[in-house]
A and B are shown apart, each in its own frame.
Chain A
């Protein structure tokens, strides 16, 4: 049982056939070779597989690939030289790096969606991802540093 679908990923249209039961995460990794999105729990609990759908963060393990049709999907591979990536490096906001793609996608969406995000809003967004290595302060610093620059440019 498989359906032909077209996914718009990182600005490129990809035509593939998928099992309707295939999650977007498995499709990205196993069919499209986009292994940046990570499987951490396959249960929507850890956020390591977060991608953006029309700019909104989504856990790609919690959606079917067929649901991605007609949406603009951005994965970590589509994030290039963004301020949040630079800030993560400068602030040492990762160690093992496994949760990093998911955190970056979520943080990237956050700084663009809510450039004036308060601490409370940042918490609301970032609660969705688990990092087991850092103490989260480094990630907080990275996000705030980008929010400050974004604010500065307006």
Chain B
């Protein structure tokens, strides 16, 4: 039950959407784009999010489609996580999103919503961070594509009024060897202590993390250590930790020291799997 009131708009084109946003701002409104909407509803209920104008972008053409085009996999940001799982165009992405929330919730949560959300795990971004994907950002003068590492740093870096419209992944990344692992406090449900996504491209491992810090990240420094085969796997894991961003999460799911313990094993498992060691 959301106690504040808002106007509701459902524009049909990107241009209309962006103009609507800016005109609402001019009218001193606080508009929010609404994709899956799950965060707006749950955080709004607790007064942790406020809006007086909801712009539902689900009527935009192509916002819910998955297609291939010119060597790229193109996924609309409005595609639900379950659709990503079921159509399975990018197994690493499917596997990763299949561990987010629960299936019924994933019918509603959109890929873009998970990436742009306030809840800081944003696990759906991990596969994108390591696959040189491009993010299609709807801006006032149209759709522009940016390499993900330019527009996503811990969280998405958007100008006011812009929104994530689609995601492009170079098809050559789709069937690379990968690992996606999620470790929780206990058993099968809950937020991650550690989520790791890793790919092997040109014999080099790339890895991105969620749950370790209050933001998802990919660390080139850590990857350099992982790929330095002059050290044993265990040593690489240990040495990589000095490049961990700060702070390491310390919360109800687990302490920071325990997270690091779990992280080490998870990285080790991931590296072993990608380097053809014993399966885990």
Contact = CB atoms under 8 A, between A and B. Distances in A.
Is A–B contact present in the complex under a CB 8 A cutoff?
A: yes
Nearest to A109: B104
B7 A128 contact: no
B37 A128 contact: no
Nearest to B53: A20
Given A1-B6, A44-B101, A127 B107 contact: no
Contact of A64 (B8, B103, B107, B189): B8
A124 B108 contact: no
A3 B9 CA distance: 11
A59 interface: yes
B42 A44 contact: yes
Contacts of B101: 44
Given A124-B98, A127-B189, A20 B103 contact: no
B155 interface: no
Contacts of B1: 23, 26, 42
Of A20, A22, A23, A57, most B-chain CB atoms within 10 Å: A20
Nearest to A20: B8
A128 B103 contact: yes
A59 B103 contact: no
Interface in A14-41: 19-23, 26
A66 B5 CA distance: 14
B54 A59 contact: no
A21 B104 contact: no
Interface string B1-22: 1101111100000000000000
Contacts of A57: 103-104, 107
Interface string A83-127: 000000000000000000000001000000000000000011101
A104 B45 CA distance: 27
Interface residues of A, number: 30
B56 interface: yes
A3 B8 contact: yes
Contact of B41 (A3, A50, A63): A63
Contacts of A79: none
Contact of A43 (B4, B45, B58, B189): B45
A47 interface: yes
Contact of A62 (B5, B54, B108): B108
B102 interface: yes
Contacts of B98: 124
Nearest to A1: B5
Contact of B105 (A21, A42, A56, A62): A62
Contacts of A123: 188
A58 interface: yes
A143 interface: no
A44 B38 contact: yes
Counting chain A CB atoms within 10 Å of each CB, the highest count among B38, B44, B101, B104 belongs to B104
Contacts of B54: 20, 64
B6 to A, nearest CB: 6
A47 B6 contact: no
Given A44-B105, A56-B107, 17 more contacts: A3-B8, A20-B5, A20-B7, A20-B8, A21-B2, A43-B45, A44-B101, A59-B105, A61-B41, A62-B108, A63-B41, A63-B108, A64-B41, A106-B104, A127-B102, A127-B103, A128-B104
Closest 7 CB pairs of A and B: A20-B8, A128-B104, A128-B102, A21-B2, A1-B5, A57-B104, A62-B38
30 contacts: A1-B5, A1-B7, A20-B7, A20-B8, A20-B54, A21-B2, A21-B6, A21-B44, A22-B2, A26-B1, A47-B102, A47-B104, A57-B103, A57-B107, A58-B107, A58-B108, A59-B105, A62-B38, A62-B41, A62-B42, A62-B105, A62-B108, A63-B108, A66-B8, A124-B103, A125-B103, A127-B102, A127-B103, A127-B189, A128-B102
